[in-house]
Amino acid sequence: AAGVIQSPRHLIKEKRETATLKCYPIPRHDTVYWYQQGPGQDPQFLISFYEKMQSDKGSIPDRFSAQQFSDYHSELNMSSLELGDSALYYCASSPGGVGEQYFGPGTRLTVT
Amino acid sequence: AQTVTQSQPEMSVQEAETVTLSCTYDTSESDYYLFWYKQPPSRQMILVIRQEAYKQQNATENRFSVNFQKAAKSFSLKISDSQLGDAAMYFCAYRSARNTDKLIFGTGTRLQVFP
């Protein structure tokens, strides 16, 4: 069965640089969620989209922005990167925003 | 605001034995979902089991079962016949029944399985 695809899987950036993370949800899933998991922490919700509209927002820094495109894939844009942004970024998708969320393998971002 | 608490940072179990991981939560909502996710060293988040709050019957998935006590706001995970592959971080998570609502995770319990 098709799963959530995230790219890239690993990303190394320097401070103050910009990063773009991509998420391709499971086919026919119209809801996408982004989570950030710092070292030794639980995943924290960043932002979600339903039918290409932002549906909820968590503790996402103003330096981050995201959108969902017409094919339902989503991109998380992160600017002016800081050392503290180093984390595992998960994308999850669900059908119609209900039920369980299926997670992608995550993108590990390292900021040096 | 809803919160999820996992009071056991680490647990260990011998292969083939049974272990129970604890989770409590706080909410004022009456309709919600509860989940257990497994995060092995690969860091993939794998859904283990799901419970709808309106269902009195405890969910089971093969060797995994839950003890859902709605009044006590408790949601423990029982793993029977533990296997080496069960070793992982386990996260308890809450989600409102509202559409598109986010998951709220507990801090996780690291499970070690000894041969």
Nearest C-alpha neighbor of A40 from the set B36, B92, B108, B12:
B108
Nearest to B99 among A90, A97, A101 (CB): A97
Beta-carbon contacts below 8 Å between A and B: 57
Contact B102 A45 (CB under 8 A): yes
- The distance of B108 to chain A (nearest Cα, Å) reads 7
Specify whether the CB–CB gap between B20 and B109 falls below 8 A. Answer: no
- Residue A14, classified by CB atoms within 10 Å of its CB into exposed (0-12), middle (13-18) or buried (19+), is exposed
Q: What is the spatial distance between Cα A39 and Cα B28, in angstroms, rounded to a whole number?
A: 31
Pull the structure tokens for residue B42: 């690969």
Chain A residues within 8 A of B102 when measuring between CB atoms: 33, 45, 48, 56, 58
Largest CA distance in chain B: 43
- From first to last of its 115 residues, what are the pLDDT tens digits of chain B? 899 999 999 999 999 999 999 999 999 999 999 999 999 999 999 999 999 999 989 999 999 999 999 999 999 999 999 999 999 999 999 999 877 689 999 999 999 999 9
Tokens 């269902």 appear where? B55
Q: What percent of chain A has pLDDT over 90?
A: 88
Pull the structure tokens for residue A24: 């391709």
Hey, how many other C-beta atoms are within 10 angstroms of the C-beta on B36?
A: 26
pLDDT tens digit sequence for A26-54: 999 999 999 999 999 999 999 999 999 99
